[in-house]
Amino acid sequence: MSGAKNAVLPAMAAALLADGPVEIVGAPRLRDIATFGKLLGILGATVTQDAGGTDRSRLLRVASGEPGEAEAPYDLVKTMRASVLVLGPLLARYGRARISLPGGCAIGPRPIDQHLKGLELLGARTTLSEGYIEAAADRLRGAPVYFDLKTVTGTENLMMAAALAEGTTVLKNAAREPEVCDLARLLRAMGADIEGEGTDEITVRGVRSLRGARHEVMADRIEAATLLLAGAITGGDVTALGADGGAMDAVLEKLQESGAEVEVANGFVRVRRAGPIRSVNMKTAPYPGFPTDVQAQFMAYMCLGDGFSIVSETIFENRFMHVAELRRMGGRIDVSGNTAAVKGVQGLSGAPLMATDLRASASLVLAGLAASGTTEVLRIYHLDRGYESLENKLSSLGADIARVRE
């Protein structure tokens, strides 16, 4: 497995807090990571990534530097909402930040009100001017922060800001995702005083300064789920080496319910399916619930189930863009609001398809593997945002797949 994109991005942002360089071991080569590196470059940091090496040994090094304007421009933020992760660190370390307000994106409006509310509770003054959030503070002061809803990057932003604040911050209703825990682990290695990650209450006692550190990033549980589902949808047998089964309970349970055989051991997860695919219902939820980032791939799988499956998306408002494309392959899916009713069919047929976002693209690839005939997925730059060489990993598992053009 590659290192987790959604753990690498906050780790790169955390480097802005440190006096010395942060070295991330196992960072994959992805468009989103390159884009984030570009943003950090604009903010005065020096970012280098090893060219060679295997996925898991490759080193990404981020050394912070004086950020000049401390401004994250619109053309970068609009391509990647995770850019908002620089807000907390810039404010905590340099006392100011100017960040383009992310607009909507393909999967919904995704506001950042909880990030701003939290930073204001820590003493930041924020204003909106010409589409930019301007934030300023002398030294942030620790405070209790209650999130109105679970937000992954919101929790991460506040953890990073609180790490250099004066006094204690208690984050309540915090996100419990493994990626949040991975960031806490890095921050501790940098000298931060944090506890409670993995629960919904995280306590951060601010320190005066943080040092650089070397961090082995967690394996990508979404990539692992995608590859295991590739095995399940084709009636195959896939072992995800390096995957952490403990971080994938909800997905593995659904795979089991659907008739696949699941084996979890220290260092790998194996999924095999020989019998029919049983249709099962699934609802996305914050961790430890079923991840929204695997909803599209699971829906592709359910298209071949033996009955009806109800798939509910509770995290994002508009994360069913794959539905129209799956229908073009013969999938029988009705959508009403945030719920999709999937009636299993005997087989899907290959078709030219349009990728619309990262995880939707992965679902189309999975459907294409199981479909008769040839499937062509266009606009695969979406796929490259979050999967490193997916086609090579799938071909090594026996799939007939090739990158025809970028």
Residue range at the interface with ligand EPU (CB under 6 A); choices 63-71, 105-113, 165-173, 240-248: 105-113
268-272, strands of its sheet edge to edge: 237-241, 268-272, 261-265
143, 137, 179, 148: which is closest to 158 by C-alpha? 143
* Contacts with ligand EPU, 234-273, as mask; x by CB under 6 A: ----------------------------------------
User: Is 105 among the catalytic positions?
Assistant: yes
What residue ranges in 187-228 does DSSP mark as E strands?
193-195, 201-205, 213-216
CA atoms 113, 115, 121, 124: torsion sign: negative
CB atoms within 10 A of CB 202: 25
Nearest to ligand EPU of 249, 306 (CB atom): 249
CB of 261 to ligand EPU, least distance (A): 27
Structure token pair of residue 108:
């919904």
Nearer Cβ to ligand EPU, position 29 or 110?
Answer: 110
User: Rounded to whole angstroms, how far apart are CA atoms 310 and 141?
Assistant: 46
In whole angstroms, the minimum distance from the beta carbon of 223 to ligand EPU comes to: 10
Q: d(Cα 272, Cα 251) in Å, to the nearest integer?
A: 14
Q: Does 169 bind ligand EPU (CB under 6 A)?
A: no
Measured CA angle at 108 (ends 106, 113), to 5 deg: 130
Total number of residues that touch ligand EPU (CB under 6 A)? 24
Among 22, 33, 99, 112, binds ligand EPU (CB under 6 A): 112
Within 179-198, which residues bind ligand EPU (CB under 6 A)? Answer: 179
Question: Judged by CB under 6 A, which stretch of 144-152, 198-206, 230-238, 395-403 contacts ligand EPU?
Answer: 144-152
Whole-number minimum distance, CB 49 to ligand EPU, in Å?
A: 18
Determine which residue in the list 67, 123, 142, 154 makes contact with ligand EPU, applying CB under 6 A.
Answer: 154
Piece in contact with ligand EPU (CB under 6 A), picked from 146-154, 200-208, 230-238, 254-262: 146-154
**Continuous segment of H or E residues that includes residue 163:** helix 152-163
- What is the DSSP-derived secondary structure letter of residue 223? H
Q: Which of 94, 81, 31 is nearest to 316 (CA)?
A: 81
Region 327-386 residues binding ligand EPU, contact defined as CB under 6 A: 358-359, 386
What is the per-residue binding string for ligand EPU in 274-293, x denoting contact by CB under 6 A? ------------------xx
Burial (0-12, 13-18, 19+ Cβ within 10 Å), 396: exposed
Binding test (CB under 6 A) with ligand EPU, winner from 115, 221, 322, 382: 115
Shorter beta-carbon distance to ligand EPU: residue 119 or 260: 119
Question: Residue 377: what are its φ and ψ, rounded to 5°?
Answer: -105, 120
Stretch that binds ligand EPU, among 62-70, 152-160, 275-283, 326-334 (CB under 6 A): 152-160
User: Token match 């209650």: residue?
Assistant: 146
86-94, 108-116, 120-128, 225-233 -> range binding ligand EPU (CB under 6 A): 108-116
Closer residue to ligand EPU (CB): 153 or 203: 153
Task: Report in angstroms how near the CB of residue 292 gets to ligand EPU at its nearest.
Answer: 5
For residue 260, CA distances in Å to 166, 210, 276, 305, 371 come to 51, 46, 9, 12, 19
Q: Are 292 and 338 a contacting pair, CB within 8 Å?
A: no
d(CA 315, CA 59): 33
Least distance CB 156 / ligand EPU (angstroms): 8
Catalytic residue, from 101, 105, 170, 324: name it: 105
Contacts for 399-402 with beta carbons within 8 Å, 24 or more apart?
399/230, 399/234, 399/369, 401/365, 401/368, 401/369
**Positions 294 through 333 that interact with ligand EPU (CB under 6 A):** 315-316
State which residue, 110 or 205, has the beta carbon closest to ligand EPU: 110
150 vs 270, which CB is nearer to ligand EPU? 150
Residues serving a catalytic function are 105
Which residues here bind ligand EPU, judged by CB under 6 A? 6, 9, 81-82, 108, 110-115, 149, 151-154, 179, 292-293, 315-316, 358-359, 386
